[in-house]
Copies of this chain bind each other. A is one copy, B any other.
């Protein structure tokens, strides 16, 4: 694999992550407005602000590579917006589950890719990973709601599955359109097997997070 190709893959990867963070900010901020309590509003605002912390690290790293973050993000606006449009929460509890599951998926994703990257990019990703632990409020609230109401629990379980399903759908569109990203994954290990295992692991950690929320 040639050096420029690897670099294009890294730029795409950082671009998709950067727009992921910016749009997560946007959704969390909007959802925070529907909070039934000031505590809930503050909790989602804090999660939203953390996304911007990550966004700024990605921006800085791209700038160091001589790449404009807005150019890097451009190809990924449509699929990420599509994911958010297909998973617009219809209640406060759906917002909390989405915040928690979305945060978790992002964490898994950052952890997975850390191993594929050159040392400076890897450091960046590990820094982003270190800044977590903002979702305890969501966990507590969803657990309490599920214990109190079996129907709510069943609905939120379906909702949690849909969040993952739509994420995988959009991830596959992204990969189909971006050969450099596929090359990056392939170059890092055993190719397709690696990719399949990657999605398998995402599903496993998703399930354990669903359990943490009290969802089946």
| A contact set with B: CB distance below 8 Å | 22, 25-26, 29-30, 32-33, 38-39, 41-42, 45-46, 48-49, 51-53, 55-56, 59, 69-70, 73-74, 77
Q: Is the CB of B55 within 8 A of A42?
A: yes
19 contacts between A and B (CB under 8 A): A22-B38, A22-B41, A22-B42, A22-B45, A25-B48, A26-B29, A26-B32, A26-B33, A29-B29, A29-B32, A29-B48, A30-B30, A42-B55, A42-B59, A45-B52, A46-B56, A48-B48, A48-B52, A49-B53
The residue in chain B whose Cβ has the minimal distance to the Cβ of A26 is: B33
| Cβ contacts under 8 Å, A30 to chain B | 29-30, 33
Contact of A49 among B48, B69, B73, B74 (CB under 8 A): B48
A30 to chain B, nearest CB (A): 7
- The answer to whether A29 and B25 touch across the interface, beta carbons within 8 angstroms, is yes
A17 vs chain B, min Cβ distance (A): 14
Q: Complex: how many Å from CA A56 to CA B131?
A: 15
Contact A26 B55 (CB under 8 A): no
CA distance A49 to B69 in the complex (A): 18
Which chain B residues border A70 with CB–CB below 8 Å?
38-39, 42
- 3 shortest interchain CB distances as A-B pairs: A29-B29, A49-B52, A49-B49
Smallest beta-carbon distance A42→chain B, Å: 6
